[in-house]
Structure 1
Amino acid sequence: MAWKAINATLLLILAGCGRFPPDTYDNHICQVVQSHWGWAKPLRHVSEEYHISPGLVLSVIFHESSFRAQARPERKSVLGFVPWTVSSAYGYGQIKDETWAWYKSHRPGYFQSRTQFSDTVDFIGWYYQIFRRKNPLESFNDMQVARDFYFAYHEGLGGYQRKTYASQAWLINKAERVAKRASEYNQQLVNCL
């Protein structure tokens, strides 16, 4: 009887590996980071190298993939039944093929993958550095920088410059949520990074 209980417990642990109740992602981001071996170090490294807050990195990942390594956008269907891929976005950061190739041409390395947390974190930091270089927003507060960075992340650097986000109310709301979550995460991460 004891073996059945142990097996059932192990099965539940394995089935839920890496997933937490929604409240954990809101109020206990340290638990999420600490439960994944190898997440804290790249977050600290990227924060130091690119001067991006770890809370902003995690907020982008949360809003892009809900921390799912294999995330892809929903497929649309043509004629109601033929599956059609709309975007090549993939992985933790929902990074498109062409943007990933651009990153790899500037940051070459072996076995880089959009499904690897450390590679995605480095990509977000690298993209943030380019964004800040092209858009020096020194007079803005952290919330404004986070919001504007998400616009550039979602729409591309050129789209950000052209303000393609301005007519998309849903994207403006999402960028506000990204900035708010980044601030909340930064407050929580003081205790564990």
Structure 2
Amino acid sequence: MTLTKRRTGLVAASLLLVGCATPPPSNPDNLCDIFEENRDWYHAAADARDRWGAPIQVPMAMMYQESSFRHDALPPRDYLLGFIPWGRVSSAYGYSQAKTPTWEDYKRETGNSWASRDSFEDAIDFMGWFIWKTHKINGVSKWDAYGQYLNYHEGWGGYRRKTYLQKPWLVKTSRIVKSRASTYGAQLRSCEEDLQHGWLWRLFFG
């Protein structure tokens, strides 16, 4: 194979991967609609719940706040002297906006060495792991979306030092996450039984 053909193949493969990327859900305010649109997301979220004990609505509300369910979400740009683009304000990336060091910790501790931050399945499992560790380290209930989000944003040490008290905007945002988790939880209770059915059941009875 010539170099030109090899490059053409790589470009085609890259375009195919971009074309296959899952777009953000059309109605992110309704968890039933999100999972109806992306059935694989429900099963991935349920697997994370079963593995880490984190109720589905908590990481999903946190993910909505972090990335609006965009697989390639990036933090804002940083600027040198206020106007020269100078990289990003952090290494956060993907659905969960996980920072590189924490993501590496997750991969090492779980053995999920091939995990990718732009994979929903890996991102939701990462968030379940983080919620589990927050409960283990700081005693915050896995159901407490408010406290969990503060830990997610400030880190376990920052939460213990109560750095969030100096950030009124973060406290306000955490309350929004808590409210959304409550709404998501009520929505999920109304549709989870249907989401648990396989495609064959839906074909005949859906």
Q: Which band: TM-score by shorter chain?
A: 0.7 to 0.9
Identify the residue that residue 106 of structure 1 maps to in structure 2: 109
Identify the residue that residue 46 of structure 1 maps to in structure 2: 48
The one-letter code sitting in structure 1 at the alignment partner of 2:170 is: L
Asked whether 1:162 is paired with 2:161, we answer: yes
The one-letter code sitting in structure 2 at the alignment partner of 1:18 is: P
Q: Distance in 2 between matches of 1:56 and 1:36?
A: 18
Unmatched 5+ stretches in structure 1: 1-13
Q: Tell me by how many angstroms 1:110 deviates.
A: 4.7
The one-letter code sitting in structure 1 at the alignment partner of 2:135 is: R
**In terms of mean alpha carbon deviation, does 40-49 or 173-182 score higher?**
40-49
Identify the residue that residue 93 of structure 2 maps to in structure 1: 90
Superposition map of 1:22-101 within 5 A: 24-26=27-29, 28-79=30-81, 80-101=83-104
Q: Tell me by how many angstroms 1:81 deviates.
A: 2.8
Contact 1:78 1:84 in 2 (8 A): no
The one-letter code sitting in structure 2 at the alignment partner of 1:158 is: G
Superposition map of 1:138-149 within 5 A: 142=143, 145-149=144-148
What is the CA RMSD across the aligned residues, in angstroms? 1.9
Aligned residues: 171
Query: C-alpha deviations, 1:11-70, integer Å up to 9, x for none?
Result: xxx9xx73455xx222x2211122124111111111122221111111010000000000
The one-letter code sitting in structure 1 at the alignment partner of 2:92 is: A
Runs of 4+ in 1 over 6 A off after TM superposition: none
Unmatched 5+ stretches in structure 2: 1-18, 193-206
Q: Distance in 1 between matches of 2:94 and 2:125?
A: 13
**More RCO (CA 8 Å, sep 6+):** 1
Q: Distance in 2 between matches of 1:137 and 1:90?
A: 25
Query: C-alpha deviations, 1:109-148, integer Å up to 9, x for none?
Result: 253101100111111111111111123356xx94xx2111
Identity of aligned residues (%): 33
Cα 1:150–1:117 change in 2 (3 A) is same
Q: Distance in 2 between matches of 1:35 and 1:18?
A: 10
Query: C-alpha deviations, 1:138-181, integer Å up to 9, x for none?
Result: 6xx94xx2111111000111111111111100000000000110
Q: Distance in 1 between matches of 2:172 and 2:32?
A: 25
Contact 2:140 2:147 in 1 (8 A): no
Q: Secondary structure at the match of 2:148?
A: helix
Asked whether 1:18 is paired with 2:23, we answer: yes
Identify the residue that residue 10 of structure 1 maps to in structure 2: none
Cα 1:19–1:133 change in 2 (3 A) is closer
Q: Distance in 2 between matches of 1:76 and 1:43?
A: 33
Contact 1:30 1:189 in 2 (8 A): yes
